[in-house]
Amino acid sequence: MMFIIGALPQLESKSKMAKSSVKSNQTPLPIDCILKGDSRDVLNQLPEKSVDLIFADPPYNLQLQNTLVRPNLTEVDAVNDEWDKFNDFATYDQFTRDWLLACRRVLKDTGTLWVIGSYHNIYRVGSILQDLGYWFLNDVVWVKTNPMPNFRGVRFTNAHETLLWCKKSKDQKKYTFNYHAMKMANDEKQMRSDWELALCTGRERLTVNGEKLHTTQKPEALLYRVILSSTNPGDIVLDPFFGTGTTGAVAKKLGRHFIGIEREDKYIRGAQARIDAITAPLITDDAVLGKIETKRSAPRLAFSALLENGLLVPGQTLFFNHQPDKTATVLADGSLRSSDGERGSIHKIGAYIGNQTACNGWEHWYYETEQGNLQVIDFLREKIRKAQQHVNESS
């Protein structure tokens, strides 16, 4: 169930609250609800560093001057809503700076932000993003398979929009990217940055009395890729321009939480009915909801853990890449010592013996099994991880 609110202090008795590490005197974080109001005002009431992902579909400032007409003289259902009108570029730029700055405050240091736009605004948005310290990870081109034609025939058909995917700063090390999930979704090929998807049409399009409820409703397929690629199950996704609730609908289907901010009552009513009609996933384990555990995402494990768990012993010999003449001795503190006395980590000594600039020791050092075979030490690391996972699932 979602709750529409006008001010966050009223929220406590009405909606779910997310546990947060923020200071106790800050307003609790509302989840799975729509907050009514201007995104700039509402964002500034939310706790700092509290959401995992932000997807923003802001006004494009299309600056339409005249009514668009088809060759048969029928009027095109264009974007001429009041929320897309600004007095000038300076006004639009200040608006953009304000909401992007507010988003940066509520985004976790491990979170990312997506912004979608057209040629009318995306370059201005991109410049402001860089001014505020955001760091681009990708620009993704949404190639529309069914774009609106250019009826006047005076320019190319506008058949794409651009999404900018950013982290909070250049120095940010950790953020979510479910590479393997996206690769699997693309028939086991790397997902490219050009996405061919249809516009929102048919039964997915929300209508009132046969008319579009919102002129720029985005397709769920687009948000599916955004949310699946850059969040994990249980994460909180915020949309500061919620519209008809596509972000919330997809988040619910994928087992994520959402926060929507919207100021128009008609959109809020449509979004609420839409999301309330969705049944949350019945099975909620990570694999079902798109999180694939990989060596990179798995918990870090020190080489010394192999000794602490009795899988290797001090004084044991390791072999570099199966080669009997390239060996090192395991020391009690988890370091290795080469035959000529060089000492260091499994990575440092691997690079030293292999005459390499860098080396992932887990993949290059082998130990001798009781059967006399050589087995890569990464096998032992995975053995400990599986045992730890079993304990966690049993507790």
Specify whether the CB–CB gap between 231 and 241 falls below 8 A: no
| Tens digit of each residue's pLDDT (9 = 90 or more) over 318-365 | 999 999 999 999 999 999 999 999 999 999 999 999 999 999 999 999
Q: Helix, strand, or coil here: 143?
A: strand
Place 155 in a pLDDT band, splitting at 50, 70 and 90.
confident
Percent of the chain with pLDDT over 70: 84
Pairwise CA distance, residues 307 & 324, whole Å: 22
Using 50, 70 and 90 to split pLDDT, how confident is the model at 214?
confident
Q: Which of 20-34, 194-208, 355-369 has the highest mean pLDDT?
A: 355-369
Q: Is the per-residue pLDDT at 276 higher than 60?
A: yes
Domain 4-276, CATH? 3.40.50.150
Indicate whether 14 pLDDT > 50.
Answer: no
* CB-CB contact of 281 with 222 (8 Å): no
Strand partners, 164: 115, 139
Q: Are 142 and 84 in contact (CB under 8 A)?
A: no
83-140 tens-digit pLDDT = 567 788 899 999 999 999 999 999 999 999 999 999 999 999 999 999 999 999 999 9
Express each pLDDT in 173-185 by its tens digit.
999 999 999 998 9
Alpha carbon distance 257, 236 (integer Å): 5
Give the pLDDT confidence score for residue 209 in this predicted structure. 86
User: How far apart, in Å, are the Cα atoms of 211 and each of 67, 263, 264?
Assistant: 18, 20, 17
Q: Would the pLDDT of 20 be above 50?
A: no
Whether pTM exceeds 0.75: no
Give the mean pLDDT of the chain.
86
* pLDDT of res. 81: 67
Question: What average pLDDT score do residues 133-148 get?
Answer: 94
Task: Inform me whether the pLDDT recorded for 76 exceeds 90.
Answer: no
pLDDT in tens, 34-55: 999 999 999 999 999 999 999 9
pLDDT at 265 over 70: yes
Q: What is the pLDDT of residue 65?
A: 54
Evaluate the CA torsion angle 368, 369, 371, 376 in order and state its sign: negative
Residue 2 has pLDDT above 60, yes or no: no
Distance CA 241, CA 309 (A): 52
pLDDT exceeds cutoff 90 at 288: no
Q: What is the rounded CA–CA span in Å between residue 208 and residue 244?
A: 12
